[in-house]
Chain A
Amino acid sequence: MIIAKTKPIEEIIETTKEFKRILVVGCDGCVTVCEAGGRKEAEIVGSALRMYFKQRGMDVKVDEVSLTRQCDRPYVAQLEEKIKHYDAVLSMACGAGVQFLAEAYKDKPVLPGVNTCFIGVTEARGEWTERCQACGDCILASTGGICPIARCSKRMANGPCGGSANGKCEVNKEINCGWHLIYERLKELGQLDRFEKPTGPRNWNTSRDGGPRKVVKEVSQP
């Protein structure tokens, strides 16, 4: 899922303080699971904003709502009636959701309430870690199910590099060396021969190097 982090309240106040009627829109998708921008977090941010404005004697209306997803038009369309009563929207969704709301409601300023971080997993309650960089050309079959693009700090296609020591990365001793993990895993699987043939240069066109990406599945189209 997409992992995000709620923006500091000071930053949210700074971006919203010029408006008189603010709608905080949570998203019931990924950001709910990573506790950054679901209904619960939208309510907390809404409550904090109301208290901040009220104690300063500012007459600002702040309400909250949460959509099933902000990255699908039918759910975004559910705001059509409600949104008319507000001057600005604080979207608690990932960057995709913020942009989709802004596209749908062109006359409303849509502000981000979270910082979108990465594609990752729930490591433990309250802790999320990165697993995928959406490079568009998955090579996990040859790397023991451990991604060198996401897990190696240098995104190396062949590793480990000289900065790997005792299974840790030179960037930070708390980071496991991705290629060390791959080596150990391939050893378990009896596939160490993978290291005998180096991987050739990657085609990064499927990643961000090819510009903004698009996926089309013709059979699913109307």
Chain B
Amino acid sequence: MTYPTNLKIIKLPCSGRVDIIHLMKALEKGADGVFVAGCLEGNCHYQVGNLRAKKRVAYVRELLDKIGIGGERVAMYNLSAGDGPRFAEIAREMTEKIRELGPSPLGESGGNRSPRPGTEVAA
């Protein structure tokens, strides 16, 4: 159940707390990618928090495409809060995807440094 160590986890009470600006700031501050891990659709304790997060992620992806950063650096995943193995799997999958994309065009050093995806987690 190991996941890449270059992952920074930001814990939130619900993925519905994730706003557009949070995803933008994460990238602006140097993350190579960000994924939002929300609860399974239909399982939100606050009814629609994860659906709101989904819309915001889609919005940011579109905006990033328009400014040339590439929307695929941001993603939304849904999983049960109790499913650790799935979380590790997603983390590995996302890291792999970001590694393929290469470092963020905003990165100061670029080159061969390992990807730094940020993570937003709904606990």
Contact = CB atoms under 8 A, between A and B. Distances in A.
Interface of A: 8-10, 13, 40, 43-44, 47-48, 50-52, 54-56
Contacts of A40: 19-21
Contacts of B28: 47, 50-51
B29 to A, nearest CB: 10
Contact of B25 (A8, A47, A52): A47
A52 B64 CA distance: 9
A10 B27 contact: no
Contact of A47 (B21, B68, B105): B21
The residue in A8, A51, A56 that gathers the most chain B C-beta atoms within 10 A of its C-beta is A51
A48 B67 contact: yes
B89 to A, nearest CB: 30
Contacts of B20: 40, 44
A99 to B, nearest CB: 28
B69 interface: yes
18 contacts: A9-B67, A13-B67, A40-B19, A44-B20, A44-B21, A44-B24, A47-B21, A47-B25, A51-B27, A51-B28, A51-B67, A51-B106, A52-B67, A52-B68, A54-B106, A55-B67, A55-B69, A56-B68
A44 B28 CA distance: 11
A55 B24 contact: no
Interface size class of B (residues with CB under 8 A): 10 to 19
Contacts of A43: 21, 24
A6 to B, nearest CB: 11
Given A54-B106, A55-B106, A48 B68 contact: no
B66 interface: yes
Nearest to A55: B105
A81 B109 CA distance: 35
A10 B122 CA distance: 33
A10 B24 CA distance: 17
B88 interface: no
B63 interface: yes
Nearest to B29: A47
Given A44-B21, A44-B24, A47-B21, A10 B66 contact: yes
